Amino acid sequence: MLDLERDWSLSFAGCGFMGIYYVGVNSCILERCPRLIRDASRIYGASAGALMAAVMSAGVPLEKCCSDLMSMARRARSHPLGPLHPSFNLLQMVKDSLLSNLPENAHILVSGRLCVSLTRVPDGKNVLVSEFRSRDELVEALICSCFVPLYCGVVPPTYRGVHYVDGAASDNLPRCCTKNTVTISAYAGESDLCPPCGNKLSFYQVRFNNVSIQVNAENMYRVTSTFFPPEQQALAEICHSGYVDALRFLQENNLISSECPMRNLEMVATKPCCKEVTESNKKNPVQNRHQWLDPQLIEKLPVPIKRVLCESCRETQSSAGLLSHMMKLPKKMTSFLQLPSLPPIESAYSLAQRLVQWIPGVHREVSWLYSVGGDNSRQAQTTTMEDSGREPVVRRWKSLPSDLNLWDHLLLPLTPADTPTSTPSFTWNTSNEPEKQTLTPPPTPTDNPAPGTG
């Protein structure tokens, strides 16, 4: 049971595109128990969890965050390789979203309260940063916390002159063991606020840097959706499940505020969350109003979040049906046959854009790569010299059986300095007690002459 009489904290785990789950969670908390976020002493986060922690600490409207996240997922799915396509620059989209949504004094609002988990590149240690001197420095820390090696690039970004990578690589759920810390995760497991475990009989789980993940089919889908976003309607359903899970958590801990009573869901459901007036739906607006998204999937979400999800699904037309895709297939095939070299040209153009953006800092990045290579080489040489400077250890003869090997270097070392104090000592038996084994004297020769001698 969460005790609100003492200081408490929130901790968001990294989850990539599954961050839409946190939109539903926080929308429920802000609607039913805003004190849980407003009065939290610290808000921790790693990767996408750090982005959500920054949004909540700076007071950015959730509908803006939801809109940008749905747009990133839609653009990722528009490419053949998804987010791995050269023209898809995820970190640049995240940076543009932060610069457009965070207020100018965001670093003042979040300093001392927001804690971003980072992984330092030289030694792989976890670093928590909570003080920021400017908004640009805050954005740099958040970008470092989201950088997944090879997935987002090769050279990691810097924060205050030091290279960092995704905070989930060292601590994906900061301060999870601290008392009165509410741990929030998008994966079913042992976190305080997370999706319910679908299979009650599954006792297997994986702990990934303090995040408990139960081994089941649902979590496998969630892990895949972390890096490769699903369709817009599936993301909307994930957002709604976050709202439902947060509502269940608040009810179990008796945190439903009396100032924010339960809404009348029927009244909200009757209000249209989005509206698209076209020639096709003027005749039958009731049936065509939500042809791109089932309203029952988002019935409990606030109206601003509903509107964003509906508009995003309407733009993609993910649920338009098989007939619509079949009608568009000839047009796609015709355009592909007319321009067979378009995909290579597009990829080359995207790589050229990346190269132009990388040229101003090429000297700095190459110097860093050279220094990292030099450090690793020096460390390897130092280890080799230390190994060569050690005294050689005489090993037992491998061909002899263990029963015939009468010398053990562990019990009887070669050097006197290494000789243990328990070495057996040899003393003479000076006691007057007789020996237990009697010695038989040799026969005494006789002086009798041999027979026949006179």
Which CATH number fits the domain that encloses residue 80?
3.40.1090
Q: How confident is the model at residue 257 (pLDDT cuts 50, 70, 90)?
A: low
Inside any domain, residue 41 = yes
pLDDT for the residue numbered 200? 62
**Block residue for tokens 């609100």:** 4
Flag whether pLDDT at 431 surpasses 70: no
Query: If you average pLDDT over every residue of the chain, what do you get?
Result: 76
Q: Which residues are catalytic?
A: 47, 166
> Per-residue pLDDT for 427 more than 60?
no
Q: Does residue 99 lie in a domain region?
A: yes
Q: Are 158 and 140 in contact (CB under 8 A)?
A: yes
Q: List, for residues 22-33, the tens digit of each pLDDT value.
A: 999 999 999 999
Residue 348 pLDDT class (50, 70, 90 cuts): low
| pLDDT value of residue 439 | 52
SS3 80: coil
Q: Domain range spanning residue 62?
A: 9-262
pLDDT of residue 340: 46
User: In terms of Cα–Cα distance, which of 114, 108, 102, 109 is closest to 44?
Assistant: 114
Residues 98/90, Cβ–Cβ less than 8 Å: no
Cβ(109)–Cβ(58) under 8 Å? yes
pLDDT value for 52: 96
Strands 158-159 and 162-166: antiparallel
Between these two residues, 427 and 140, which has the higher pLDDT value? 140
> Would the pLDDT of 104 be above 80?
yes
pLDDT tens digit sequence for 188-243: 998 999 999 876 666 688 888 888 899 888 999 999 999 999 999 999 999 999 99
Contact 27, 305 (CB under 8 A): yes
Question: What letters, b where the CB count within 10 A reaches 16 and e where it falls short, cover 115-151?
Answer: bbbbbbbeeeebbebeebeebeebbbbbbbbbbbeee
pLDDT level of residue 61 (50, 70, 90 thresholds): very high
Residue 245 has a pLDDT of: 95
SS3 258: coil
Q: What's the rounded mean pLDDT across residues 322-327?
A: 46
Residue 274 falls inside a structural domain: no
Q: Evaluate if residue 273 carries a pLDDT over 50.
A: yes
pLDDT at 426: 47
Mean pLDDT, residues 146-157: 90
**pLDDT at position 332:** 45
* Cα 397–Cα 401–Cα 405 angle in degrees, nearest 5: 60
What pLDDT is attached to residue 403?
A: 53
Q: Provide φ and ψ at 62, rounded to 5°.
A: -70, -30
DSSP element (H, E) containing 54: helix 48-58
From CA 223, how far away is CA 201, in angstroms rounded? Answer: 21
Question: What are 451's two structure tokens?
Answer: 């027979």
Lowest model confidence (mean pLDDT) among 77-81, 106-110, 289-293: 289-293
Is residue 268 pLDDT above 50, yes or no?
no
Q: Residue 402 is encoded by which pair of tokens?
A: 């263990």
- Tell me phi and psi for residue 441, to 5 degrees: -70, 155
Question: What is the rounded CA–CA span in Å between residue 330 and residue 334?
Answer: 6
Q: How many CB atoms lie within 10 A of CB 274?
A: 19
Residue 248 included in any domain: yes
Count of domains observed in the chain: 1
Q: Decide if 445 is inside a domain.
A: no
User: In this predicted structure, what is the pLDDT of residue 449?
Assistant: 55
* Greater model confidence, 66 or 401: 66
Query: Using CA atoms, how far apart are residues 268 and 98, in angstroms rounded to an integer?
Result: 31
Stretch (H or E) spanning 43? strand 42-46
For the ranges 129-133, 290-294, 328-332, 357-361, the lowest mean pLDDT is seen at 328-332
End-to-end CA distance of the chain: 122
pLDDT of residue 208: 86
Per-residue pLDDT band for 370 (boundaries 50, 70, 90) equals low
Name residue 207's beta-bridge partners: 212
User: Of 48, 39, 49, 105, which is closest to residue 72 (Cα–Cα)?
Assistant: 48
Query: What average pLDDT score do residues 161-177 get?
Result: 89
Of the candidate ranges 71-85, 317-331, 348-362, the one whose mean pLDDT is the lowest: 317-331
- Kindly state whether residue 220 falls inside one of the protein's structural domains: yes
Is residue 181 one of the residues assigned to a domain? yes
Residue 171 lies in a domain: yes
**Euclidean distance between CA atoms 95 and 152, whole angstroms:** 13
Q: For residue 18, name the pLDDT band (cuts at 50, 70, 90).
A: very high
Percentage of the chain exceeding pLDDT 70: 59
pLDDT band, residue 98 (cuts 50/70/90): very high
Average pLDDT over residues 414-421: 50
Tell me which of 153 and 404 has the higher pLDDT. Answer: 153
Q: Which of 37-41, 124-128, 406-410 comes out lowest in average pLDDT? A: 406-410
